[in-house]
Chains A and B, each alone.
Chain A
Amino acid sequence: MSRVRPFLLLGALLLAWELAARSGWWNQLLFPSLVDIADELVRFATAAEGWHEAWVSLYRALAGFALAAAVGVGLGMLMGRSELVAALLDPLFSGTYAVPKLALFPIFIFVFGLGSLSKVALIFLECLYPIVIITYQGARGVNRVLIWSAQNMGASRARIFARVVIPATVPFIFAGFRVALPVAMIVVIITEMISSIDGLGYVVIYALASLKTDRMLAAVVVIALLGLLLDRGLVLLRSRLVYWDRLETYYV
């Protein structure tokens, strides 16, 4: 019972959906049957085109995320270990934190063009904030006693950094990644919905415009699965790399 219980609510919702679709009270467009959606899903998965659209979205999201991860971890570490850098950059990040970076997208289109680059740049910017802020928090809060002990035992600065600061910060870095990765997915889908000629966000908008709601929902399912898989992958990676610090969350 306890194994099926987590899926109870989702199952009930899907059942209610199918009943609504079959009841005939609503137009098929509003509640396409799960069978039709599954049909479209199979068509999507068997056509090279479908894989291509998914790959385009995934590529943009991961490219922006990877850039933000590299730059963000570096900046966050620097801010955490140097008061000067923190004094310079912290106001910049905390001051613009609440500003929706999406508003820059129209300008990014002019600067970087209509293709992938403007989207990757926006994803980079949106992902940068959580990664920098959470890494900074972690790097700043490294237990001083640990650093002192290492110094006492004659460890060099580089060694202290590699053996004390980084391991102590890694859980925070992953926490930042876990916030940023869904953000990357959100931004890639939004930007593709607003202005694009490919990618899953475009598939959703195009299917809606041609009133193919079953196809649209199939794309939604693909996006949902992709978001879920990326998160699972990250959790898996974290449990391999940060084996000494178990994640204390509900659903891992």
Chain B
Amino acid sequence: MLIARLGLLVAVLALWQLWSLAGLPEYILSPLEIARHFVAALGSRELYEHIGASLGRSLPGFAVGSALGIAFGLAAGMARWFDETFSPAVFMTYPVPKIVMLPLFMLWFGIGDLSKILIIALACFYPVFVNAYYGARSTPRILVWSAMNMGASRWRIFSRVVVPSALPLVFAGMRVSLALSFIVMFATEMINARSGLGYLIQIAENSLRFDLMYVSLVTIAILGYAGDHLLRAGRRRALAWQETHA
């Protein structure tokens, strides 16, 4: 499997490199050139500052959005009155692209980082909410009944029965949200920022610095990939019991 995966990757890169020998337009660099520029950028402070600025926006946004999504989603999945008043508003605004709120957030919270973090949090809230909600709702009733029968308190049922059975879906929602947080982070930085990877790619484009454009692209790709892997590793740890039981 690993060989197939690497084989295809190498084949694509080799074709691309060969194609560059035949002459590429100047806005498409060959893989070796990209690697060279990327390694060169790794030696500079500037790249780390942009990475720091970007992560300083996307991670707090992701954390806040996911935490609220989990809390509200589980609550809506468990408490009927809350479900009936809160969920419809969420499901009705679900297909609306949340990024349109960015200009308004910029007016309310300033053009600095706060408005970006909040818009990322808003975008991340939805997938986590929906998944936590369905996760809590799909808890097998028989488990809840057994726990009640054995005299478990409401809190104990929540923490020992509902949360574990909702966890796989919660992670699925967080995985979507994490990818979304990078997209929205990048978008907000391209629209309006003074730092960050989206800003870097924007100035690179305006000044025709194609090397910087690809450096930013490779960096965001690596960050997205690494974040996804970290989350999946966390999932494996948190759901270790699932592998053995299900």
Contacts and interface: CB of A to CB of B under 8 A. Distances in A.
A189 B100 CA distance: 7
Nearest to A94: B5
A96 B182 CA distance: 14
B27 interface: yes
Contacts, number: 149
Given A30-B108, A181-B95, A107 B217 contact: yes
Nearest to A89: B8
The 8 tightest CB contacts between A and B, nearest first, are A6-B88, A98-B228, A91-B5, A251-B91, A231-B95, A110-B27, A208-B103, A186-B97
B28 interface: yes
Interface stretch (B15-23, B144-152, B154-162, B201-209): B201-209
A30 B191 CA distance: 20
Contacts of B92: 6, 10, 228, 251
Interface of A: 2, 5-10, 13, 29-30, 87-88, 91-92, 95-100, 102-107, 109-111, 181-182, 185-186, 189-190, 193-194, 201, 204-205, 207-208, 213, 216-217, 219-220, 223-224, 227-228, 230-231, 250-251
B100 A220 contact: yes
A103 B220 contact: yes
Interface in B87-119: 87-89, 91-104, 106-108
A160 to B, nearest CB: 28
- Classify chain B's interface size: 35 or more
Nearest to B4: A87
Given A107-B27, A194-B190, A194-B191, A102 B103 contact: no
A190 B186 CA distance: 10
Given A95-B225, A185-B96, A185-B97, 15 more contacts: A8-B85, A9-B89, A92-B8, A95-B9, A97-B179, A98-B182, A105-B190, A106-B213, A107-B28, A181-B95, A182-B96, A194-B190, A213-B104, A216-B103, A231-B95
A91 B10 CA distance: 12
Contact of B205 (A95, A96, A106): A106
Contacts of A13: 89
- Counting chain B CB atoms within 10 Å of each CB, the highest count among A8, A87, A186, A217 belongs to A186
B35 to A, nearest CB: 17
Nearest to B137: A250
Nearest to B86: A9
B27 A91 contact: no
A194 B25 CA distance: 24
B103 A95 contact: no
- Counting chain A CB atoms within 10 Å of each CB, the highest count among B93, B107, B204, B228 belongs to B107
